[in-house]
């Protein structure tokens, strides 16, 4: 097994070619496809590459491991960084000579497009089912790691305002601890744009084994994470970067749509809870100023 150098810009293309002769016939199909379609590959999921290469998802993962990577996501990060200009790429379509005003317009337009695309694929039945699962759950565990952590905290803030029994965890180990205590009456909401992160997958699989319902908010419907889901809500973004920007806007929109959908079920109760919250906040401010 090759040990990758610490330099994140290590030449992935050279690595593939160097290991090519030692790959199996099916792994060579993956290598051939990636080498011939570099720009497409950086936008694809593991399942997409498997489909286009004519092999299984497991074969794509074996290919990654055969050339020294543990996961597809890890391989794709280095592949993106290897391509010309990509290390400096902050957002797709933004050029180094763009004036500030043009940058602002491109960023906003990218966010608008993500919202439009997310709305296009929004399944009303899935959305209604998600509302039902949230409303009926005894306990709700919300998880997200890395840059999905702020999204998990936002969802917790929204649901807490409705008086729901919810918890948020962005620490991988505590997620597992809380998931181990879930029951068939509980719900776990998982936020992961790539759907490839190992920690949320482990936590979700454990929750499912306990009989808990699972809602997944992701940009990757072909990930292993969605196999455990009762409901998948898709946040669409066509960015090539691993740490996407516009997808977060789409995720916020989904989270807020769920909040409003739940709030509208009992407007009187929602308004009363908001009054209690604001009364408490105002009293707290009064006490602090004394």
Give 65-108 pLDDT, tens digit per residue. Answer: 999 888 887 888 788 777 665 434 556 667 777 888 988 888 88
Q: Does the pLDDT value for residue 7 go beyond 50?
A: no
Q: Does the pLDDT value for residue 219 go beyond 90?
A: no
Categorize the per-residue pLDDT at 2 as very low, low, confident or very high, splitting at 50, 70 and 90: very low
What domains are there in the chain, each with its CATH number? 12-86 (1.10.10.10), 107-284 (3.40.50.10490)
Strand 187-191 versus strand 140-143 pairing type: parallel
Q: What is the pLDDT of residue 197?
A: 77
50/29 Cα distance (integer angstroms): 9
Cα dist from 30 to 41, 48, 52, 59, whole Å: 10, 11, 9, 8
Q: Does the pLDDT value for residue 228 go beyond 60?
A: yes
Q: What is the pLDDT of residue 88?
A: 40
**DSSP state letter for 228:** G
* Residue 179 neighbours by CB under 8 Å, 6+ apart: 141, 143, 188, 203, 204, 206, 207, 210, 212
Q: Report which of 206, 157, 153, 150 is spatially closest to residue 183, judged by C-alpha positions.
A: 206
Q: Report which of 236, 243, 260 is spatially closest to residue 115, judged by C-alpha positions.
A: 236
Q: What is the pLDDT of residue 290?
A: 53
Total Cβ atoms within 10 A of residue 6: 6
Categorize the per-residue pLDDT at 4 as very low, low, confident or very high, splitting at 50, 70 and 90: very low
Q: Where are the beta strands (DSSP E) in the chain?
A: 140-143, 166-169, 187-191, 213-218, 231-234
State percent of the chain over pLDDT 90.
47
Higher pLDDT, 43 or 6: 43
Cα dist from 174 to 25, 103, 155, 192, 196, whole Å: 42, 40, 18, 17, 19
Q: Where are the beta strands (DSSP E) in 75-206?
A: 140-143, 166-169, 187-191
Total Cβ atoms within 10 A of residue 185: 12
Q: Report which of 222, 17, 88, 51 is spatially closest to residue 80, judged by C-alpha positions.
A: 88
Q: Does the pLDDT value for residue 8 go beyond 60?
A: no
């Amino acid at each position: 097994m090759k040990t990758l150098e610490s330099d994140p810009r290590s030449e992935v293309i050279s690595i593939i070619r160097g290991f090519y002769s030692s790959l199996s016939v099916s792994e060579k199909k993956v290598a051939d496809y990636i080498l011939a379609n570099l720009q497409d590959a950086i936008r694809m999921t593991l399942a997409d590459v498997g489909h286009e290469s004519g092999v299984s998802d497991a074969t794509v993962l074996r290919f990654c491991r055969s050339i020294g990577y543990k996961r597809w996501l890890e391989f794709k990060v280095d592949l993106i960084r290897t391509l010309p200009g990509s290390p400096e790429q902050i957002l797709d379509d933004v050029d180094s000579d763009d004036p500030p005003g043009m940058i602002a317009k491109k960023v906003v337009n990218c966010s608008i497009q993500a919202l439009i695309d997310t709305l296009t694929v929004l399944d009303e039945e899935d959305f209604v089912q998600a509302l039902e699962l949230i409303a009926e759950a005894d306990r709700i565990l919300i998880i997200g790691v890395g840059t999905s952590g702020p999204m998990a905290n936002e969802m917790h803030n929204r649901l807490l305002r409705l008086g729901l029994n919810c918890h948020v965890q962005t620490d991988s180990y505590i997620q597992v601890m809380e998931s181990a205590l879930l029951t068939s009456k509980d719900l776990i909401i998982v936020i992961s744009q790539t759907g490839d992160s190992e920690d949320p997958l482990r936590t979700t699989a454990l929750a499912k084994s306990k009989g808990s319902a699972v809602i997944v908010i992701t940009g990757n419907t072909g990930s292993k994470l969605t196999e455990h889901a009762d409901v998948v809500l898709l946040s669409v973004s066509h960015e090539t970067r691993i740490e996407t920007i516009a997808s977060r806007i789409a995720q916020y929109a989904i989270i807020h749509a769920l909040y409003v959908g739940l709030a509208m079920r009992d407007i009187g109760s929602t308004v009363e809870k908001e009054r209690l919250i604001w009364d408490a906040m105002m009293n707290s401010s009064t006490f602090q100023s004394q």
